[in-house]
Amino acid sequence: MKGINYLAAALMTAFLMSGCSKPVLDWRNAEVSNGKIYEIGANEPFDGLVTDVPHGKIEKLLGAAVLWSLKTNQPKTMASLLGGMSYECDVTVKDGLLADHVVCRHHQSQVVAYEGRLKNGRLDGETLFHGPDGGRVAVLPMKDGRVDGRVQVYFGDDPKQLSMEADMANGGYDGDVTGYHHNGKVSAKGHYLNNVPAGVWETYREEDGTISERVQYEAGKVVSQNLYQPDGKEYLSEEQMWALHRSIASSDDFTLTPDQEVLLSEAEKRYGAIRLLSPSQQKAKLQAEDEKRRADKIARGLDPDCFVCDGSDKQ
């Protein structure tokens, strides 16, 4: 990663060699007025290279803020993979505005977090982001400060292996998305429509690549969920079993399909559950219990309508 570590120095050297008349301004000696960068005390906006700019001062202008919400398909968040994004940046400025190039380094380090070409002061073109150790973290296709194209994210502990790639447009997910296990096998795949999950999403096991779950989305909401054992046989989770039980107990209009009946019966055996009764079944059960109680009292010579009479006062 030595080449990455010295990109910032190389940028400054090239800048100075290409135009010795252009000055270099450290951010400590800069001030911002009406959105433009000036050297402190100067009357004219600055032209040249501004160094050690805190990333937070230019992040929104560059469009890099989208990184905070980017999915990673791994335990670490994007912010964690990128070391918190506490960067110092060197950026070319023309007439006080961000011009055509930026290089940002990790805090108190010469490791380059990312460098990019600017268009109208915003990131434009493919931009590669690195973690504090210099390892590749993400590749973002930028267009006028917005992500537009196929995004690639890599595992923090294996910067050669993709963890996720997705189609994005206007800073949101729009198109196909694919997640990967550490071994390179697909872990999940699905589709977004205007940043909302749509259609069929599937997840797969790492060890053998067999499907483990299939979810159907409509308007961003789950309308069906199917779970599968490694042999391909479908099964219900305990949560799904109880959801069906609640549906049965809440309405006589709810009817199990033949497939649901098979899956529910198998789940009840698996989780040791007893099926709940429908409202009419509950009512019939209570009536049967009441009739049995009344018949028992009559047989014992008691008043069936007397709820405190149990025959204990008779010898």
SS3 301: coil
Distance between CA 11 and CA 17 in Å, rounded?
Answer: 10
CB 167 within 8 A of CB 176: yes
What confidence tens digit (pLDDT) does each residue in 121-132 have?
899 999 999 999
At residue 184, the pLDDT reads 96
Q: Which residues of the chain have pLDDT under 70?
A: 1-21, 310-315
Buried b (16+ CB within 10 A) or exposed e, 115-152: bbebeebbbbeebbbbbbebbbbbbbbbbebbbbbebb
pTM of the model: 0.76
SS3 54: strand
Segment holding 151, helix H or strand E:
strand 149-155
At residue 104, the pLDDT reads 95
Helix runs in 140-210, H state only: none
At residue 2, the pLDDT reads 44
Phi/psi at 138 (nearest 5 deg)?
-155, 150
Which residue pairs, CB below 8 angstroms and at least 24 apart, start in 36-44?
A: 36/95, 36/96, 36/97, 37/93, 37/96, 37/97, 38/96
At residue 66, the pLDDT reads 81
Phi/psi at 106 (nearest 5 deg)?
-65, 150
8 closest CA partner among 109, 157, 100: 109
- Rounded to a whole number of angstroms, the distance between the first and last alpha carbons of the chain is 98
Distance between CA 140 and CA 68 in Å, rounded?
Answer: 13
Distance between CA 93 and CA 118 in Å, rounded?
Answer: 11
What confidence tens digit (pLDDT) does each residue in 28-81 have?
999 999 999 999 999 999 999 999 999 999 888 888 888 888 999 999 999 999
